[in-house]
Structure 1
């Protein structure tokens, strides 16, 4: 029925025929099109590509316009391998294509395409032949772009192998999937968005993307998304251009970006999204590490490259590791990353296009937030020796508000740990622009050993310790061009703990802690202010070696060779410290630069200062206290409370010093001395002031000074000094205490130094006085410089001058020599319990004596008295000599007076003389067996230098021994003693001396010594002069008894002299006398004749007296009236030749002629003269016997009748000797 209907209906018939035609057409197309298409496709492909192309099968379904092409293959150029293989190509066309006269494809599917691409090197690829063919210009004229509409384009399961023979790597793309839902340029569909999608796996990393675009509209607006996940960049690193100065060793890239593109009205590209990289490692071209991080994440809010604008909301770096280094030449590893300097290429702007300025080309970058977590920075520096290596770990940084250009300050903060055995922590924060910045830095237990390699450029020893604190930095560009920029470093609080300098394992210096607070350092202006500085327990050696270099000179290295020779001079730094404190200090001072080392330990050092500044114009309160020790003695104490100014240097304050070891500093001034100071503890309590002026220092010292426990030894002398000085060290000077109370010292340039001491005390002192083998006193060589020194004549005077010299030396030691002599005044001086040990090595055997128990006082005296006249001080000194003899010195003296003036009396009582036997042996040749000495001396020295001295010695029971064999001299000391001693054995000698001290030839000691020696010598030369005191005058003349010529009769004058001699001999029973009569024939010839005539006349008188009945003994000499008669009788009786008369009888002649004849006939021979000499001796002896002198002490010596000496007169000689 249905067929019938069709037959009857014309339109139905037509429909059937039409359907049949279509079916026939479909059938023809289904059967004929596939082989036709296959052959044409192979032909066209071969023509276009120039390669062998094969197609497995073609399936065409005309009823649906679907075409399927299977197993498409394109061989390589040599035909050995497949270049391209596509498993299936499916195309679903629409009948709408007929209506639109343009291809309208509903779907295109390409399944499992496989591409192999080979890079042959040198920029050549195995598809270069295809590219060359495709690049040939078409012979057909240019036409409008073909119109089409494409829906549902899909590529699935694709793969690509990129074989790069140049780098030896193969890149593999798998699971390539591309979907393009719609793409059309038909007019009706240009505004329809195209949303393609691409996904693939590259070397195992997944990539995905999506987009929405209208590519055929005028604006070509496109929105796209791009995603990478764990995209490994390593396989592609070989394609990085060699000009890039770094190598990326590894990186995994994650990208999730959105891109918006629009060409109208102007080209605009906007990118946003997330870019993240992980496992990044970058090295330099030599393979050295530069940068690595675990991950970096950039959150792009807006990136517009054509507008040069970037806005990031967040940047996160996790585990960044930065390797920074500097080689030996000082070149940073990052410096190689800088692009080569070149001029920018000139752009060719279009006609009429404005030339862009540099400002318009500048990028604008904003970053809302930056975060760094777990970072590290490693620094290596080969410019130091040893090489510097340090690492910052656990780096955390947060920043916000970053922008370029910086319109607003960015804020930042962070933390880090400095790696090491004792890790240190750092924290920082602040804000900054390109014009100003403020920052704070917090450090906690940061080890200073990290800076050791850099300090090694300047320091030989190594520095250890740690630093903690909070610091700030302020930087600001100048508001006015050309002005200095501001750069300030502030320290809120800084602590340096356990600082130590060491050389190897040997410690050099240490500080327990240094604290700094409220400090500001203005670097451009070179100024610093410190609110508080505290130094705790510093232990510092202050040393100077035998090369005269201080320890810091040895610690510091010489300036680097590259340092500029002539640096630009800069203004000095200014420094102000509001509060400074040092506690628990320990300083070991050692100086080896001198002949002897100086070692002083300063402990418990405390320093307090306020408002201290380097310019020092204003005095700053200062207090210093310490304990000072040297050797094993207890340390002394030093305390200062006052003020200090540095410009000019001024110090004023109260000083309290007790027991300071002055002896430790003896090597500094000991070279001027020939003594070794073993101990000297100095003390002072009072006020001092020191001010430096242009002309010199101004000094004022007021207080009480002391020098206690002083001990000094002599030292062996060298060279010529040794020949006359001390040879072996021995104790020289010592005392328990020397106190100067009320000391006032004033010094100023151009004026005399003033020294005033109210009261001085010296107790328990000792002095060693030695006369050397050359006769020089040891105290003369105490000072090496040639200093005039007087010596006292007695041990008492020596003790007094020694004590006074000690006091004066202590006072004048504080005075600096000036052009004008100092004015020194002393109040009362007290000496307590002194001792002097005296030794004389000049004599053999040596002699020693001790003065002990010396106590005394000296009243006030001055070098320049106010009245202008010499002011003598009362001196009183008492003690004992050799423990038995008393010693006393009284009088007036001024040790400082110039010229010297004094009036002193000294007494020594009952000094045992036996210890002085060495002197007696040396100078007299006899030792002293016993005896005592009492001495009274008096010295008066006038200001004009005139000396009047009185020396009264009383020797009691002095007894000398026998002559000593080999003694230098032998004097008749026994005779001298016998001459000088009275009947009680006492010798009383008075030795007055006078002279002028201004006479360089005058010296008191030698004068007194000469007088004493002369006394002894006179025992031989003029013994009677020693009896002058007993004679009541006279002296040597009493040793001669005069006689009238020719006689042996003592005249009254001669008897008087013999009376004196008799008395002296009676008082000196140890003496005996020898009388020697003298006569001379030549001189006394006539006198003997007259004496013979006188005797004849006298005999005639006695004869007549006897005849008259008288006696012969009572006859007196004849008178003038009797003489002529007696002469005539003698003449008559004389048997001589006489004048006679005519009868031969003797004529009477005048008395004168009778005398002449008688005298002419007296015979005078030598025997007569000798007999006369004997008679004269007898006459003297008999006279002395008549004065009750024992005859056994009187002897007649041989008569002397020889030729007379000049100025001889008739006499008898008296000679004394001991019994």
Structure 2
């Protein structure tokens, strides 16, 4: 400075010698002088008049200013004595003594306001709470809400304000509703700076806050460190157990909630820092705790319970939008969210903004006459609402949504949630739902969020326990009562975007990265109530570990899921997983997963009941989604084990197996292809029945269009109607119906081998009178090389027993190609002929007393043409009595039989047949009749006389007694069979004949009683399955305590006339009377007696061949007989033995 002053005279002399410089200097001085004159004498008046007019017009409140001082050279403006009146103009709403704003020269080169000092003296605000919903500032709030948002390209505000001071402030809240006035006086506030720009301004204000609140003094004073680098000031912000419920009533608008309790603790420090060449900074550190929060809706139902929420700020740079949170701890939170039938959530209207009339413009010439709406006008839903709605529409059309003012950078060290509980209920008609979680613990660590880069990074997510539940859907009965309301609610579709363009937020979504997810000991219960019987699935425990989870394109993470499904099932999923696009390379392992819970989804569409089944599997599942196309594959093994089904009406076993395994499966989803190494079916049983109309029971597994139940193992309910349909029907007239050739190509399918082991099939033909029953046992073998390739054939090798006679099937077949292709040979040796007596009686006019059949047949189909060879060998064929049958040919049966027998009494014939499968006259029935007629023509034998009984144990061993209506062996009968087996074993040359007998009266009554027992057991089985218990129909037992209850329900379902009381209601009867009525109305025909006799004979033979170890070829079953037959007083319900 001294050197400058010493050179000043010389500089002025040099400058004065240049005329142009002198003129420029004089002009500059004149300009500066004019600015000073304008600023001191003209500008204050302009500011005063324009400010009064603008504020009055915009806010609809009369505003006056006492004086304005402007110091243009100091860049300081002071406004004195400003007053803003109430809309009515009778009282002061707000005022201040003086407002001084000192602008820094830095504003010129920063292109942003830099305020060196902001000082407000004697500010005053007068608020009035008129009633529970209205304040004297409602019009100002409505005006603010009606303003359009900022444009999309608006940038965050750039500014710096230093040395902020408020002195002598006064605030009044006049609560008319509570008849109390709250006052804050002597308010003094000091804030060193608030800035978003790097500015160098001398700071002389220390942080402080002092006031007198309703007579209670408050002083918060900070500490300044003016000589530190950086210059710093701090202030402590502490609150202890502040009751927030006190302030609920002062929230503008209409609170649609209740806040019984809420407390706030705060222990924070505000740091004001100013570094050289850097923007001033405001940092917050410390703790904020929200505790004992109870939030209810307007009807006092709980929405939120929050015992404790503690936020620990590590370093929150408020002005830079950079927040570092050390820890967020939430303990015991409980939330209850509900969506009403109309679609609104219970939290949507917790706070309704106040509705006020739009402010009217204040006329410049008459400012005092401007008035705001009265409370009554504000409550009227008239022009105000319409104006606001119209304004909203205009705003929506003209202004796009605003962007975030400043990108937020958030760092969270840890989020801890303990003992949380959440519930959600959705009552919408389309899909009612209830979901909840309890005992929920969660830790989220090392979270970083950058809204500018749209990235969320999470270090790890850990949860060590949680219980979830989900109930969804309405029961069918409820839907019917509601008039199928679910069909009337149509979800709203999102509005179509103009020009087909996507929203920017959709195109640039956030990228979320999670380093680690660890979930342990979770449980879940899923319940689908949309079914007649709810389907429930439980998962517990559930453990999940994931690594490197990310929504970044082509990112790959790891997953390890371990869960227990439905108590016993084990599920494991491990492998690689991608989110964008969807990708998975997973190893699946699931074992013994009970699928009984799936039964409610199909039980109303079928006539069978699934009593147990579980599925297992292990393999690799791969899938990927690229450009909207989904591709995938599965390679591994799958098994459906321990399956059992029963007839819903009779509770009889229908289909069951021990295991069905599929090994080496390779499935491609798109395009579809299937390659299987091996399919194995073990220990299986099936019941196949042809009913009185010739319909196969397999066709009745799925219910018809009328939805009526039908038994798949019993007789039709109306035998008379069935007989009417059957009368005159000839099985040979039913042509073979083959499906037309498929219109599209068969997908590639290959099955390397099919293994069958331990199979048993029970076949019953009710189309024939009397009925015929056969049992195929010990079925096993292989089918190798199945393929949809038209040039391939599978090799078949099957073996088994038909009614104890050996069966063998071998050859080649291709059922997967468009046209059936096969070359099969089947052989049966030593099959009993007596059970076939029903067929011989109908088609040859004679029953069969005894005989054995061996046949060797071969069937070849090529180009839809069948060629067949049938070789039949009959041994010891003995015909029974003449049967009158319209289908029997008039042939010399006895004479033909004598001609067909060789010297050993054996008939050996070969019957070739053939025809085109496309010929409408060609039928399976025709083939059977042709074989039978040719057989009888060449091989019918005459009866011969039995040569007498050869039992050595006495007459008592010649028969076995049975309980009326039953075919089960008694203990006494088993003891007799032991003696008979010993005799046969001692005499290898002996052969045994068994004849089943029935008592027309006793057995008829017994069958009726047995029918009642079966129905009671079937009802109990259904109840057991409904409770999730597994059982087999044949093993269900009914206790004496259960029997009366079950019998009453069975009696109620019976279709016959029942006794009724005086008012027409069905009477409650004792067990004996119900049994009597059911027995009297039950129908048992002669055919049923014959079947019973056959079953008794077969039971005796089965015991001898299995328990007695007697070869089957030594035992013959004769046709059963009905009626009394004197045999030393023996019961007619028996089987007779004779030796040959």
Does 1 or 2 have the higher relative contact order (CA < 8 Å, sep 6+)?
2
Greater gyration radius = 1
- TM-score where L is the length of structure 2: 0.48
Could you tell me the TM-score, scaled by structure 1's length? 0.45
